[in-house]
Structure 1
Amino acid sequence: MLYSSKFRCGIMPLCLFCALSMGFLSLSRIGLMLWLNSNVPDGSVLYILLQGLRVDFASVCGLYGPAFLILIFCSIVRLKNNAVILIIKIYLALGFTFLVFNEAATPPFILEYGVRPNHLYVQYLIYPKEVLNTLWNGHKLAVFADIFIIALSLYAGFKLASLLFKNYVFASFKITLLSFIAVIIILPLGVRSTLGHRPLNPALISFCNDPLANSLPLNSSYSAVYALAHLNQGKLSASDIYSFDNKENILFEGMDFSVKKNTAHHSAQCPLNQIITSNSPQKYNVVIVLEESLGADFVKSLGGLPLTPNLEQLKNEGWWFTNLYAAGHRSIRGIEAVTASFPPSPLDSIVKLPRTESSYATLSRIYESYGYKTSFIYGGESHFDNMRNYFLENGMQEVIDQNNYKNPKFVASWGVSDEDLFLKAHEKFTQLKQNNENFFSVIFTSSFHDPFEIPEGKVKLPASIQTDEPRRLAAAMYADYALGEFFKWIEKSNYKDDTIFLVIADHESRVRGNGSFPLSEFSIPALILGPNIKAYQDERVVSQIDMAPTLLSLSGISGEFPLIGQNLNQERIKERALMQFNQIFGYLENGKFVTLEPQGKAAFFNVGKHNSLVETKEDKQLLKKAVALENLGPLIYSQGYMLDSCINP
């Protein structure tokens, strides 16, 4: 007999189901290790497998714990009801399907983000329309595969549970009582997986500097549930950040970070204020074109593919940055950096965080205080990632999104095409100029977003480019094409001579963990165009957060503002950049790079060609500075150091 009758009583069927589930998770982990063998450090295979068993045991204890308690309760009261057993079978089948589905989703997620499913995986669940449209319009094969996997998993899970519970009988009262004692002890300990002060968490089993390798001991159901449980809306614990530095050092490094040559009067509530001065005799309009995902990988002159000829042409007419780094690998991180000069940190982006009081001293709030008309122009639904609330509550007088386009020429999963977007912006700016209004606007593109739907016949990939992702690369070319069309309209517009333009990517298209930190994937293009701006190639190392004070200076705005970035419109600056990749904070300065992980893990590197990293010895001064700057964002958020009350025109 394949399945002995002695296993058909008490909690044995559930124990066997847990063991088989853990076996599946281990096989999945082994498969990932074989696929990602180059990311598995030498000598770490046994560690990954053993820690994986630990995580898997914690997972099945948490997932199947209710089934154990229900079964033991029914055994104690001798309630052997077929309906109860059926409910347990269905519950087990659903639990098994949950495990299988998340493991099946792991390879494509790793290809896109470089780690197992994390907070990004669960954050997108609150936007079902966008996610479903993306999957259906660009990944139909994956949708049908997922449906098949779910159906097969439900069937297999239910059949397995039915086999294990076939001819099931209750154990004796004595065995049931002992089982109950064992379960109420083992389940909590199993979920917690440690007798230490803090329960099991991803940082506890991290063992190297490679984020992808550190995620291998996890299973994707655990990492997804952990991320969901820690969407904490702005609260950080000591386990979420390298170190909570002292307030004085954080403020000192924060002020020094901006090179405040003309130091502002630092009040207790506005200690990070800096003075921005402008030599311009007039006030210019300002337009920020935030290009979705259009990183250096698609710009030939920055070492990427030759997919952006219009941007390459435009760079010959303005201020072009060759060593600018994104603050993060998500749009909301780029938005806060460019529009508010807010530093990246383990804290969630302020685009999504609730305000503590008042509103932030964003560019839109500053320009509004100077009498500008302010607007955010987007082709999709602005509620995504809380963008609408962020902009409206922080100085944007008008938000234009997909609902405001009449008869657009092309509509994709993420909104109207970039051509429709730029046409709407062009019409808006033309009208404002006719009304003699100064304006500040942020245009956020969306055509270069998975599933990469673009109008037909607009672009054609060069024959020299061989790729297995033609849709992605064609979408990059289309984003550049639409940008080129916009600037053709600008050339003939009534607002050209009165407007400063910043064209900048929000982040790179794909930021994957390769080694300790994918520094090369944080390189993005940026270009400033406008009156009196000479063609110049700026090779200084700078950050997205430097754009806000620079634009203020160029546009004729002088005053005292709580901005962390530095005004690049001056000769002497500090060449540095800070960035956040998942839980890892990175700081770059003078060819040296340091990474900080939760629970006190730091690594030091020399930066080589193409942003390659070579590990080196500890640098205590660099570490002290990096720790303070990582803590800067949480301190600013909690203390309100960048609110509109600090604006002093």
Structure 2
Amino acid sequence: MKKIFLSRYGLLLSTIIIYIITSFLIRLTLSIISFHNLDGHVYNMLCTFAIGLCYDITVALFIITFYNVYLLFFPTRFIGSIADKILTFFILIVTLFITYFSSIAEFPFWDEFGSRFNFIAVDYLIYTYEVIENIKESYPLPLLIGGLLLLVVLTLFLLNKKKIFQAVFTYKMPFKKRLVASSALLATTVLLGVFLTNKNAEFSKNTTVNELSKNGIFSFFAAFRSNELDYDTFYLTLPQHSAYTILKKELVQENQGYVSTDFDAISRITNGNWQPVQYPNIILVTIESFSAEFLSAFGNKKNITPNYDSLANESIFFKNMYATGTRTVRGMEALTLSVPPTPGNSIVRRPNNKNIFSIGTVLKEKGYQLNFIYGGDGYFDNMNTFFGGQGFDIIDRDRGNPLSDNIDTQRFPIQDNEVSFENAWGICDEDIYKQSIKNADSEFQQNKPFFQFIMTSSNHKPYTFPNGKIDLPQGNRDGAVKYTDYALGKFINQAKTKPWFKNTVFVIVADHCASSAGKWEINIEKHRIPAIIYNLNHQNTQIDRLVSQIDLMPTLFGYLNWNYQSSFYGKDINQTKIGDERAFIGNYRTLGLLKGNIFTQLNDKKRVTQFRWNERSKTMSEVKDTSNRFLITQTIACYQTASERFKKGRMKEKQH
């Protein structure tokens, strides 16, 4: 073995070993950090490290492929020359730096999402400004880069001490021998690359165990290849007629009737009740990562949300609401389109998402002016294109990205002199609320109702905000939550001084929870969010019935007694029969429906699993009872039809 390392291929083999050892240490450390989410079975942990080793070897082989080809074709007579040494050291230093950097990067990603790199990481690569600035603001970048370079230098020192470099630059290995060695490595690399997939790591029902089995770099490129998931290819399906028959029974409410008798037509007329119809201004505030667990109403003792807690006591307060997904674009999708979270990317980020039937469609028919207000550059996550495509005017931070202007609507960039504080994700919440009030003042002068969709960002890492506002330090989640709450309270108090306040309803809801990691593929409790409807005729009530984000706006329209045509999957909870409540919850690949205490889960292996959800203990146990078969077909019908309707353009306004 020592002879192999003291050869022309010694450095290549050393790099493979270094990568495998580094990956093992990362996996071991993440296992220790996530011990509370593991099932504790020794066999599963052994499988985790054994399967992980296969991924690590595969990635190591891919990493050294370029160097492998270099060793094969570099002329024998020039081995040990200045050119050979310069090229070899350059390749090695870059390889080592990437290895160590990607390994370190896994820790903050794991902390945030409880998984290896997935296509969240792929998405973030598109938006370099936000990502680079976030890294700079969240971590001591010079110290981090210096530490990585020091680690690279230390590795070079150890390799030199073991006389690896001496062997590499003196061993005049003939081309035929190099051809055999390089071909064997390349063949193994190709075979592993073709036959090994990320699904091979999913041997356990414990999602944390499965994620630990994976390799970050491998997962990253696997996500890059499978950014979109075709429902019919990867999930269980029903005959189209059956799927729509089930769906139409599920969607229709007592105050609704279908427009068409066609089996696949879901558009229906919604009739308000006998009470007077109202057309108040509506301000929808979507708060970044605002988990229910932050509120005192859900047991939090830290008093970090006093303003939201106070507003909840004066509002229609939804205490049993669930976010459909784990990212901002999923929350936006749910609140605007009122559809289940179809697999793959959010509709907000997909092409061909213009003029979809949405709350904007209903609001425009009622004469509302629509505005999307965001403190960052709305180019991020395709927000401007999506909201512009639904008829919203855009108010966002202009960072000079020409693609941000490529929208068919008016755009009003937030100017530098209107910003008191800004980080990677945009201006602070106080500043975004100032934009809301400025816009509301302007719209009020036009004497027509207005609707604002506000997306906040202060409760996002790096958790920075203006100094002197609250009594908690920056840089941690509790501080960011308390500042977010402070800014919200200040906004409401300022709004109360305006002439438009008495005729303005505030809908305040989270986009998703602060994290979604846990033992199960979908951790239900990590999707629970708060929502309130404030200043609606001084109504003060608590809704404990099960709802998800897609039900929020249809419920508001019900309170306003509107008649309108709808193809929403969301329902007015006040028109929903007892026992028919449900919540859609998903996470890119896994799709679920919670009804009662049964959670039905579909995955992209055409499998279905059902769990019994214990809300008191926050645990799930698998159910084998076949009496829940109807919930399976109902879950399939909802997700299958939603996916089919978007794919075929049937969500469009004129085709709904």
TM-score by length of 2: 0.88
Identify which of 532, 542, 545 aligns with 1:540.
545
Deviation digits for residues 597-631 of structure 1, max 9, x if unmatched? 33145433222234612313224333333333343
Match of 2:31 in 1: 33
Q: Is structure 2 residue 612 aligned with structure 1 residue 606? A: yes
- Once superposed, what is the RMSD of the aligned Cα atoms? 2.8
Q: Does structure 2 retain, via aligned residues, the 8 Å contact 1:550–1:568? A: yes
Match of 2:531 in 1: 526
Call closer, same or farther: CA 1:422–1:259 in 2, change over 3 Å.
same
Q: Is structure 2 residue 544 aligned with structure 1 residue 550? A: no
> What is the distance in 2 between the residues matched to 1:185 and 1:214?
27
Match of 1:384 in 2: 380
Q: Does structure 1 retain, via aligned residues, the 8 Å contact 2:271–2:563? A: yes
Match of 1:130 in 2: 130
> What is the distance in 2 between the residues matched to 1:229 and 1:161?
36
Deviation digits for residues 39-67 of structure 1, max 9, x if unmatched? 34302122112111111121122221222
- Deviation for aligned residue 1:118: 1.9
Name which of structure 1's ranges 315-324 and 117-126 shifts more when overlaid on structure 2.
117-126
Call closer, same or farther: CA 1:355–1:560 in 2, change over 3 Å.
same
Q: Does structure 2 retain, via aligned residues, the 8 Å contact 1:296–1:303? A: no
Q: Is structure 2 residue 305 aligned with structure 1 residue 312? A: no
> What is the distance in 2 between the residues matched to 1:370 and 1:270?
27
Match of 1:23 in 2: 21
SS of the residue corresponding to residue 623 of structure 2 reads coil
Call closer, same or farther: CA 1:454–1:270 in 2, change over 3 Å.
farther
> What is the distance in 1 between the residues matched to 2:57 and 2:93?
18
SS of the residue corresponding to residue 407 of structure 1 reads helix
Identify which of 621, 630, 637 aligns with 2:646.
637
Deviation digits for residues 85-109 of structure 1, max 9, x if unmatched? 5324422332232222222122222
SS of the residue corresponding to residue 23 of structure 2 reads helix
Match of 2:365 in 1: 369
Match of 1:323 in 2: 320
> What is the distance in 2 between the residues matched to 1:420 and 1:30?
43
Q: Does structure 2 retain, via aligned residues, the 8 Å contact 1:8–1:168? A: no
> What is the distance in 2 between the residues matched to 1:236 and 1:84?
51
- Deviation for aligned residue 1:181: 4.2
SS of the residue corresponding to residue 216 of structure 1 reads helix
Match of 2:286 in 1: 290
Identify which of 455, 465, 490 aligns with 1:454.
465
Match of 1:68 in 2: 68
> What is the distance in 1 between the residues matched to 2:617 and 2:556?
27
- Deviation for aligned residue 1:267: 7.2
Q: Does structure 2 retain, via aligned residues, the 8 Å contact 1:592–1:607? A: yes
Match of 1:206 in 2: 202
Letter in 1 for 2:509: I
> What is the distance in 1 between the residues matched to 2:50 and 2:59?
14
Call closer, same or farther: CA 1:176–1:545 in 2, change over 3 Å.
same
TM-score by length of 1: 0.89
Identify which of 304, 312, 336 aligns with 2:333.
336
Identify which of 575, 578, 584 aligns with 1:578.
584
- Deviation for aligned residue 1:296: 0.6
SS of the residue corresponding to residue 450 of structure 1 reads coil
SS of the residue corresponding to residue 44 of structure 1 reads helix
Q: Does structure 1 retain, via aligned residues, the 8 Å contact 2:370–2:452? A: yes
Call closer, same or farther: CA 1:99–1:644 in 2, change over 3 Å.
same
Call closer, same or farther: CA 1:595–1:99 in 2, change over 3 Å.
farther
Call closer, same or farther: CA 1:559–1:373 in 2, change over 3 Å.
same
Q: Does structure 1 retain, via aligned residues, the 8 Å contact 2:465–2:474? A: no
Call closer, same or farther: CA 1:587–1:383 in 2, change over 3 Å.
same
Letter in 2 for 1:481: Y
Q: Does structure 2 retain, via aligned residues, the 8 Å contact 1:497–1:531? A: no
Match of 2:350 in 1: 353
Alignment: residue pair count: 626
Letter in 2 for 1:508: C
Identify which of 581, 588, 603 aligns with 2:594.
588
> What is the distance in 2 between the residues matched to 1:342 and 1:153?
49
Deviation digits for residues 119-157 of structure 1, max 9, x if unmatched? 2223222222222332333433xx244313431344355
- Which residues of 2 match residues 72-83 of structure 1 at below 5 A? 72-74=72-74, 80=79, 82-83=82-83
Q: Does structure 2 retain, via aligned residues, the 8 Å contact 1:257–1:565? A: no
Q: Does structure 1 retain, via aligned residues, the 8 Å contact 2:340–2:642? A: yes
- Deviation for aligned residue 1:425: 1.2
Identify which of 414, 417, 426 aligns with 1:404.
414
Q: Does structure 1 retain, via aligned residues, the 8 Å contact 2:342–2:588? A: no
